[in-house]
Copies of this chain bind each other. A is one copy, B any other.
Amino acid sequence: MAIPLPVLRTLPSCLRAKKGQVTVTLWQGQVVMDVTPGWEAAKRGEVYGVALDLGTSKLAASLHSLATGELLASGGMENPQISHGEDLLSRLSYAFSPDGRGELQRLAVKGVNHLISQLAEEAGVPLGRIYELVVVGNTAMISLFLGVDTSSLARAPFSAPVRGPIDIPAESLGLEIAPQANVHVMPCVAGFVGADAVADILALGLHQASRRRKPVLLVDIGTNSEVILATPDGLAACSCAAGPAFEGAQIKHGMKAVTGAIERVKIDPVTLKIEVATIGNTSPVGLCGSAVVDTVAQLAQAGLITPQGRFTVKAKPHLLGHGRQRHFILVPGDPHHPQITITEQDISQLLLAKAAIQTGIHLLLSQEGVKPSQLKRIYVAGAFGRYLNPASAIRIGLLPPIPPSRVTLVGNTALAGARLALLSTPLRTQAARLAHHIRFLDLARHPHFNNTFTSSLFLPSNTSGS
């Protein structure tokens, strides 16, 4: 049985304090995690763990009792690495600057420490009794969190800097939980397809052949998005650099999906009357990602924009400004409330983001010989996905043409998968195996990538008429 140095250092006094009576906390029956003096029957169940999703934009985590599995607290925060760029590529290039890699590693750890300490305080759990942390994220975020050289992600052929799974002591990363706590980094697949995709699969049970009898598609939408196809032949995946537009970034009146954000937009194609619904039913503050998708779908539906995303003659009377800065008024505003509009520039941003995902879905389905109509179900995961209007997503081409009723919004499945792995070691073994067997589609080297991407920049033609 291994005794880590931090435990060893205080062991002799522990053994003496209560005449040799101690409470020992073991990890998988192999490693001594903690020794405390006396026999603390009450503390028997006081072992805790954290599941963590390292998103490019957002860190999300949940704190659990490892004795009962109970969820004690959960929360999220902005990824502090955002100070070095909203998208992955800015951060990967920053990682090349002197100590850039170290700085990004420390920022990630700082954020994680902050988030975990918040959860622990909320649940009244001592940080020193958190003995396990299961981490998921895309390959870039995982590598930057570990401080691993990311040069293989900065130029083609992109390859995952780490495959994993990896188990390392918390202390060696600078994490402020029990120093000897085990950090389990879930396995990555290839390129940018990381442990988050593996966790998605675990959460939805797609690794079970019975769940794949008919083809199922999973789209995890984020700054870096993953597309996973499950068929009777197995699993295939690719990643798409969608950028942060779906998170409301780089959109003039964009915002995160929080209270006050418009989540639904409806435009009457005849009267052009506009109705909006906000999260929390408050007065509107801005547009979250799903509202931008809705707006573009509705503008197209009403014949107010071309398939290229330019305003039509019909829209002209309703526009303010000039050129690319022309904007369409969604909420007129008043002295106490902001005017909310959408610009042609915003529409372009959204079309770029949707083109990235549309390309991934199209090429992955082609590779696997699956037609959209064969898809039994499309799962949409990610924070953004919680408010998405499936019909609008299909209308703009973000999702392939299937009946909207077959689309299911599943929320943060990456975190859900991390939770499962936190509470079940057999699932960790399964995860390692399945990560190895996923067929990886490298979009960057795909001969049809450029063509497909360029044609995906347009709105599907059947939606442009009213």
Contacts and interface: CB of A to CB of B under 8 A. Distances in A.
A5 B146 contact: yes
B16 A148 contact: no
11 contacts: A3-B166, A5-B168, A5-B173, A8-B166, A9-B146, A11-B148, A12-B143, A12-B148, A12-B151, A12-B162, A13-B152
A8 B148 contact: yes
Contacts of A5: 146-147, 168, 172-173
3 smallest beta-carbon distances between A and B, as pairs:
A12-B161, A12-B152, A12-B149
A148 B9 contact: yes
Interface of A: 3, 5, 8-13, 15-16, 143, 146-152, 159, 161-162, 166, 168, 172-173
Contacts of A10: 149
Contact of A16 (B12, B143, B151, B173): B151
A143 B9 CA distance: 8
Contacts of A13: 149, 151-152
A8 B173 CA distance: 13
Chain B CB count within 10 A is highest, among A15, A149, A159, for A149
A163 to B, nearest CB: 10
A9 B172 contact: no
Contact of A8 (B9, B15, B152, B162): B162
Copies in the assembly, this chain: 2
Give the secondary structure class of A's interface: helix
A146 B12 contact: no
Contacts of A152: 12-13, 15-16
A277 to B, nearest CB: 47
Given A5-B172, A9-B147, A13-B152, 16 more contacts: A3-B166, A5-B146, A5-B147, A5-B173, A8-B146, A9-B146, A11-B149, A11-B161, A12-B143, A12-B148, A12-B150, A12-B151, A12-B162, A13-B149, A15-B152, A16-B152
A25 B149 CA distance: 19
Contacts of A3: 166
Contacts of A173: 5
A55 B381 CA distance: 62
Nearest to A151: B13
Contacts of A15: 152
Nearest to A167: B2
A210 B172 CA distance: 47
A9 B5 CA distance: 22
A159 B19 CA distance: 13
A12 to B, nearest CB: 4
A350 B172 CA distance: 49
A54 B162 CA distance: 39
A168 B8 CA distance: 11
A152 B17 CA distance: 11
A90 B368 CA distance: 74
A10 B102 CA distance: 12
A364 to B, nearest CB: 25
Contacts of A8: 146, 148, 162, 166
Contacts of A143: 12
A151 B9 CA distance: 11
Contacts of A151: 12-13, 16
A3 B150 CA distance: 17
A161 B149 CA distance: 40
Contacts of A159: 12
A143 B159 CA distance: 44
A11 B143 CA distance: 11
A400 to B, nearest CB: 35
Contacts of A146: 5, 8-9
Chain B CB count within 10 A is highest, among A9, A15, A172, for A9
